[in-house]
Amino acid sequence: MISLDLNFNILTRDLSHYLENQVKVGLFGSGVGLSLVLGFSAAYTCYYLISVAKKPQLISGGKKFYHFLREQCPVVSETYYPTFWCWESRIQTLLRPFVTAKPGVVYRNELIEAADGGQISLDWFDNDDSFSHPDPATRPTVLLLPGLTGTSRESYILHMVQQSRDLGYRCVVFNNRGVSGEMLLTPRTYCAANTEDLETVIEHIQRTNEAAPIMAAGVSMGGMMLANYLGRKGRETCLKGVVVFSAGWDVFECTASLEKPLDRFLFNSYLTSCLQASVHRHRPVLEKCYDIDHVMKARTIREFDERFTSIMFGYSTNDDYYHDASPVHRLKSVQVPMLCLNAADDVFSPSHAIPVEAVKQNPNLALLITCHGGHIGFLEGLWPRQSTYMDRVFKQFAKAVIEQGSRLTDLS
């Protein structure tokens, strides 16, 4: 018994000595702990460099546009390094509004009348201090279209205004009806399929600055609206070029993706509540024509569209509306240079619905697909406060269209 106790005491003493001298109790003070940390870091770095950081895929329907982009927009050929601690799709999407800075921008608001008697809110950044384009009559204009419930105050819009300011351009943000604080004068809001308000805005901008070149950029639903507009107008537009970010190309596929349990919880329910909040804000005008109580009980975007959007714009069924709102059906008719940036991991616009084959059939189209980036995320760098991959694509393409646009007049 004495021998057993002695052996146990010796074992305990030796183990304590080992822990004190080798493990040091704290993980980072130990040889074993440090080895684990270094090993994990090395493995994570290898995985990141091999599987996460990749060059984007550039697809175009014509060699001329393809080579133009490679020459004038080097970002399309560079490896995209997503922020290493948040490269996953949903994390990029959720963090973008909170991580990125909001540059200070002072707008000049203008309300213009629509054909039905409603009003459209435009936020202008005139850039009167432009050094490269001091004459306001010829200063290039960039039209910006926010996403589904977005306004001119979204961080991604403010970043594009900042990039345009650096280039010496003027910006105007097209706020969809009823989302930026203005009153609804008629019982009508907006949707991706209807481009009448957009046509009114573009015609107004052209009349206001007849000698100034105009290009446009649309984000998410704003990009869908732009693509549908170009598909309808063909060559009958004053836009010199268009860039589209994180557009949903097939609304059926986009909606189905957002109805998966996790994405419904993270995104669908929230966006539905935002849409309902806008309806509630304008209830006195809208309840004369629509069953608002029924609309407010919707739990998904699909239910909201079935009860409100499709009815407002005169569709027999919601499926008819979704088919008309899907830009994929109009890409063959686009006659203006259009660059489209999508992330393959975007749950709002699933990769299998990205219109690769349709783009290959039109020399005016180019598609840039990154492996990661989420929905309007595209965060890069250690701490992505000031700029994103999307910002760099926008700035380089805008400059190329405005300053080298003569090379894009005939891409066939």
CB-CB neighbours of 66 under 10 Å: 17
CA distance 305 to 349: 18
**Tokens 């080579």 belong to residue:** 67
- Report the C-alpha gap between 331 and 247 in whole angstroms: 13
As a whole number of angstroms, the distance between CA 79 and CA 12 comes to: 55
Separation of alpha carbons 124 and 302, rounded Å: 33
Tell me 378's DSSP state: -
- Compute the CA torsion angle 296, 300, 303, 307 (nearest 10 deg): 30
The C-alpha atoms of residue 242 and residue 215 are separated, in whole angstroms, by 6
Of 60, 346, 372, 391, which is the active-site residue?
346
Strand ranges of the sheet holding 365-370, from the earlier edge strand across to the other edge: 57-60, 365-370, 338-343, 239-245, 214-219, 141-145, 170-175, 119-125, 108-113
Other C-beta atoms lying within 10 Å of the C-beta of residue 314:
9
Q: Exactly one of 155, 278, 349, 375 is catalytic; which is it?
A: 375
Q: Specify the pairing of strand 119-125 against strand 170-175.
A: antiparallel
Q: Using the 8-state DSSP alphabet, how is residue 49 labeled?
A: I
Clarify whether 5 is annotated catalytic: no
Helix (H) or strand (E) holding 125: strand 119-125
**How much is the CA Rg of the chain, to the nearest whole Å?**
26
Of 97, 21, 11, 64, nearest in space to 410 by CA:
64
- From 220, 246, 257, 349, the catalytic residue: 220
Residue 220 designated active-site: yes
* Catalytic-residue membership of 135: no
Residue keyed to tokens 């499709």: 310
Q: From CA 176, how far away is CA 190, in angstroms rounded? A: 6
Cα(368)–Cα(59) distance, rounded to whole angstroms? Answer: 6
Distances (CA, A) of 281 to 42, 143, 278, 286: 53, 27, 5, 10
Q: Which residues are catalytic?
A: 220, 346, 375
